Structure 1
Amino acid sequence: MLKQLCGVARINFLSLTLVCIALAAGASWQAGFVLHYATLALVTAVGLCAHLSVNAFNEYFDFKSGLDFLTERTPFSGGSGTLVRHPTASTSALTLAIVSLLLTIGGGLYLSYQLNWLPLMLGMPGVVLIYAYTQYVNRWPLLCLLAPGIGFGVFMTLGSYWVLAGSVSAAAWVLAVIMLLLVSNLLLLNQFPDVDADRRVGRRHLPIVIGRRRSASVYTLLLLLSYLVLLAAVAGGILPRQCLLALLSLPLLIKLLPGLFRYADKPKQLTPYLGLNVLLCHLYPLLLLAGLIWAGIGHKAL
C-alpha cells in the first residue's frame, strides 16, 4: 500500500516544491531577514502537503473519469497509472488527498496565527485551486494555462517569502512571476501527449483549443518573457546582478525549442523534450538561488 500511495503522490515530482521554497528562503535571506529554521521547516511541510494533495486529487479524479484508461503515459505526463494497476487503492488515494489538504489548511492557519493573517489572502484561493484544478480548471484554456504557475509562483514562492520575511517585496514578486511562467510552461508542454485522451473526457486546455504547434509558440513566448523579466529586474536593481547566473540555463533552449517545434504533432517523440523542460524548470530557479546566495554572501562580507 505504501508503494501505491507514493505513486499516487508522485513523490518524484515534489522536488519542484522544494525548489520554490528554497528560492523564497534564499531571497528573504539575501534581503537581510533572519531565517527561522522551525518556520522554514513548517512552510516546507505545508508546501509539500499542498503539492501532494493536488497530485492525489488529480490521480483520483482522472481514474474516476476514465481518463487514466485512455492516456498513453510518459515519464513526465499522463499521471502515474497507479490506480489503473491497483483500482482498489482509489479510496486510499482520495483519503490521502483529503488528509493532505486538511494538513495544508491546518499548517497554514497555524503559521498565520503565529505571524499575521495577511498571507491567508494567498492561502485561501490556493486551497480552492488544489481541489478545483482537475475537475474544473481544465475546462477553461487560459485559466488552465496559468493556474499551475499561479499555484507554484504566487501561492508557493511568494507566499513562502511572505511568511519567512513578514512582508513582500518587488524582488519576491519578480521571482514569483518567473516561477509562474516556468511552471505554466511545464504543465503546458506536459499536455501535448494527452490531447486526444483529454479531449474525450471534456477537457479544453490550450493544445486542444489552438493545437500543439500554436501552443509551442505560446510556450516559447512565455519562456522568453521569463528571461526578459529577469533582465529587466537586474537592470532596474530589483534583483542583484549575480542573478544573471540564471542565463546559464539558456543553452538548454538550443536543443529544446527546435525539438519542440519539430515534434509538436508527434507526441511519442516529444518525451526527451519533456525531460529537458523539467530540467529547465529546476535549473533556472536553482541558478537564481545561487545568484541570490552569492549576492548575500558578498553583501555580508562588506
Structure 2
Amino acid sequence: MRLPFLLLTPACVLVGVGTAYWQMGTLNGLHVLLVVVGALSAHISVNVFNEYFDYKSGLDSKTIRTPFSGGSGALQANPNLARAALWLAWVSFFITAIVGLYFATILGWKLLPIGILGLFLLITYTTWWVYNPWLCLIAPGLGFGILMIMGTHFALTGEYSLVAFVASLPATFLVSGLLLLNQFPDVEADKSIGRKHLPIVIGFEKSAWALGSFYLLAYLTVILSVLAKILPVYCLLALVTVPLSWKAFHGAKNFKVDASQLIPAMGMNVAVTLLIPVLLAVGLFIG
C-alpha cells in the first residue's frame, strides 16, 4: 500500500472539504468520512496495481530504491504475495466505486464523468499512461488534483463550482511535479521496459525546469485567485512554502547521476506538495 505515501490523499481531500465549507458554511460529517474512505481506497488501489505490474514486468528489481521512489520491495521479498496484492488492488478499487455510486445515487449523474475517469485512471496508469511522456506527466495531477478535489466538493455540496476548480489547480500542478522528480532516479530502469516519461524524453535539466514551472503555476494560481476574490486572502498562507520549493528546484536542476544526492530535494518536493493543499484548506476554513 506504501502507507507513508497515503498522506497525500487527506491533504488533497481537505482542499475539497475546505471549498465545500467555504461555499456552504456546513459539512455532513458522514459524507466527509465516506469521501476520505473512497479517496484512500483509490490511492491504495493505484499504489498496489503499480506495485503488482512493476513486479510482473521486472522493473522493481532494476530500480534504485529511495524513500520516495522505486517501489516498496515487498513483492521482491515475498513473491508468493503477488496474487494477494492483485486482489487487494481490485478490492480497494471496488470500495472506491461503491462510494462513488452512493454519492451518484443521492446527488445525481453529474458525478459520473469524474468518477468514471478516475476509475479508468486507477487501472490503466501503470499499463498505459506511463508509456506516453505527456499523459504520464498529467495523470498524477489530474487524479489527485482536479478529479479528487472537485469530486470531494461535489460529494459534499451536490454541485461543481469555479472555487473548487481553481482550488484544485495547485494540487494538480504539484502532484504532477512530485511524480516527475521521483522519476529521475528510475530513468535507466524505466527505459529498459519501454516507458517514456519526461526525464527519459527531454533529460534531467529540462525536466527540472518543468518542475520549476509547476511550482510557479501553483503559486500564480493562488495569488491570482486571491486577487480575483475567488479564494479568500488567507489562502496566501501557501506562499510560506516558497523557500522549500526553491531548494527542491535547485536540487533537481543540479542532479546528474547519483540518486542519493537527490534525496533532500525529493523530500522538500514532498513537503511542498503536502503543505500547499493543507495551507489552502486552512485558508478556506479561516475565510
SS in 2 for 1:79: coil
Secondary structure of 1:134 counterpart: coil
Number of the residue aligned with 2:235: 243
Distance 1:172 1:23 in 2: 8
Please give the secondary structure, in 2, of the residue aligned with 1:135.
coil
Bigger relative contact order, structure 1 or 2 (CA pairs below 8 A, ≥6 apart): 2
Query: Residues of 2 paired with 1:236 and 1:205: CA distance?
Result: 35
Q: Is the 8 A contact 1:145 1:184 kept in 2?
A: yes
1:254, distance to aligned residue in structure 2 (A): 3.5
State how far apart, in whole Å, the 1-side matches of 2:106 and 2:256 are: 49
User: How much does 1:265 deviate?
Assistant: 4.1
- Quick check: 127-136 or 267-276, which moved more? 267-276
Q: SS where residue 75 of structure 1 aligns? A: coil
Runs of 4+ aligned residues of structure 1 deviating over 3 Å after TM superposition are none
Asked if residue 176 in structure 1 is aligned to residue 162 in structure 2, the reply is: no
Structure 2-normalised TM-score?
0.98
Corresponding residue number in structure 1 for 2:38: 46
1:56 to 21, 43, 48: 48
- Where structure 2 has 5 or more consecutive residues not aligned to the other structure, the ranges are none
Q: Retained in 2: the 8 A contact 1:154–1:180?
A: yes
Instruction: Please name the residue that 2:277 is paired with.
Output: 285
Deviations 1:224-265 (CA, angstroms, capped at 9, x unpaired): 011111111011110111111111111213322222211254
Aligned residues: 287
Q: 1:137-195: CA deviations, max 9, x gaps?
A: 00110010000000001111111011111112211111111111010000000000000
Q: Who is 2:92 aligned against?
A: 100
Between the aligned residues of both structures, percent identity stands at 45
Does residue 294 of the first structure (1) align with residue 275 of the second (2)? Answer: no
* Cα deviation digits, residues 14-34 of structure 1 (max 9, x gap): 111111111111121122242
Structure 1: runs of 5+ lacking an equivalent: 1-8, 296-302
Correspondence 1:270 to 2:258:
no
SS of the aligned residue for 1:118 comes to helix
Equivalence for 1:16:
8
Q: Normalization by structure 1: what TM-score? A: 0.93
CA RMSD of aligned residues (A): 1.0
Does the alignment pair 1:89 with 2:81? yes
Is the 2:46–2:123 Cα contact (8 Å) retained in structure 1? yes
In the other structure, the counterpart of 2:216 is 224
Q: In structure 2, what is the Cα distance between the partners aligned to 1:264 and 1:45? A: 40
CA contact (8 A) 2:12 2:278 kept: no
Question: In 1, Cα distance between the equivalents of 2:192 and 2:149?
Answer: 34
Within the candidate set 117, 129, 133, 1:125 is matched to: 117
